[in-house]
Amino acid sequence: MNLIFNIPKRLLQIIADHKKLIFFLFVGFILLSLTTLIIGKTVQNWDDDPDRGAIAHKNGEFGESYSTPVYLDQGWSESDSLWFYNITQGSGLIPYDFYLNLEHIDSNELMRSTASIDKYRYLPQKPTFSNPDGLAVGFAKESYQGKDYMGYTCAACHTSQVNYKGQAIRIDGGPSMANMVGYLHAMEKGLKQTISDKDKNKRFVDAVLALNNDYDNAEEVNADLKKWTGTIGLYNSINHSHIKYGYARLDAFGRIYNRVLQYVPNKEQVHDILTQTTSATGTYILSSAEADLVLEGINETIIGNTQFVTIIERLFSKEAGYPGLSQREFLLIRNSLFNEPSAPVSYPFLWDIAQSDYVQWNGIADNSGLGPLGRNAGEVIGVFGILDWTAQEPGFSLSSILTNQNHKKKKVDFKSSIDLTNLERIENHLASLESPVWPQDILGSIDHDKAQSGRKIYGQYCQGCHELIDRSDADRIVISKFSAVENVGTDPAMAVHSVTYKGKSGNFKHTYQSTDVGDVILEEEAPVAQILTSVTKGVVTTPDADKWFARRWADWIYTVGMASFSNPIEKSSVKAGNYNPDTTASPYSSLVSYKARSLNGIWATAPYLHNGSVPTIYDLLLPTKKAGDPAKGKYRPESFVVGSREFNPEKIGFVSSGYSGSPFTTHREGDFNTGHEYAAGNTAQINGETLPGLNEKQRWELVEFLKTL
Last residue of a domain, one of 337, 361, 382: 337
Give 328's pLDDT tier (boundaries 50, 70, 90): confident
Kindly indicate the confidence band of residue 10, based on its pLDDT and cuts at 50, 70 and 90: low
In this structure, is residue 430 part of a structural domain? no
Model pTM?
Answer: 0.92
Domain presence at residue 500: no
The DSSP code sequence of 581-625 is PP-SSSTTGGGSEEEE---TTGGGS-SBTTTT-BSBHHHHTSPPP
Domain-located, residue 605: yes
Instruction: Say if 290 falls within a structural domain.
Output: yes
Contacts from 393-400 at CB under 8 Å and sequence distance 24+? 398/11, 398/541, 398/542, 399/537, 399/538, 399/539, 399/541, 399/542, 400/538
Domain boundary among 287, 319, 337: 337
pLDDT tens-digit readout, 586-604: 999 999 999 999 999 999 9
108, 123, 111, 112: which is closest to 64 by C-alpha?
A: 123
**Is it the case that residue 396 has pLDDT exceeding 90?**
no
Please state, in angstroms and rounded to a whole number, the distance separating the CA atoms of residues 207 and 211.
7
pLDDT tens, residue by residue, 480-520: 999 999 999 999 999 999 999 999 999 999 999 999 999 99
Question: What is the per-residue pLDDT across 84-98, written as a single tens digit (0 to 9) for each?
Answer: 999 999 999 999 999
What pLDDT is attached to residue 32? 63
Question: Is residue 382 predicted with pLDDT exceeding 70?
Answer: yes
- Report the share of the chain in percent with pLDDT over 90: 74
Range of the domain at 646: 440-470+601-706
pLDDT over 60 at 374, yes or no = yes
pLDDT number for residue 44: 74
Task: Kindly report the average pLDDT of the chain as a whole number.
Answer: 91
Cite the DSSP H helix spans in 8-68. Answer: 9-17, 19-44
pLDDT in tens, 111-161: 999 999 999 999 999 999 999 999 999 999 999 999 999 999 999 999 999
Residues 444 and 303 placed together within one structural domain of the fold: no
Residue 221 lies in a domain: no
Give every CB contact of residue 486 below 8 A, 6+ residues apart in sequence: none
User: What is the count of structural domains for the chain?
Assistant: 2
For residue 370, how far is the Cα from the chain centroid? 18
Cα(152)–Cα(385) distance, integer angstroms: 9
Q: So what's the pLDDT on residue 3? A: 41
Instruction: Let me know if residue 484 belongs to a domain.
Output: no
Identify whether residues 307 and 453 lie together within a single domain: no
Residue 275 and residue 288 in contact, taking contact as beta carbons nearer than 8 Å:
yes
Asked if residue 268 is part of any domain, the answer here is: yes
Asked if pLDDT for residue 70 goes beyond 50, the answer is yes
- Asked whether residue 665 is domain-assigned, the answer is yes
Report whether pLDDT(555) > 80. Answer: yes
- Considering the domain architecture, whether residues 462 and 605 belong to the same structural domain is answered as yes
Last residue of a domain, one of 318, 337, 356: 337
Q: What is the pLDDT of residue 305?
A: 64
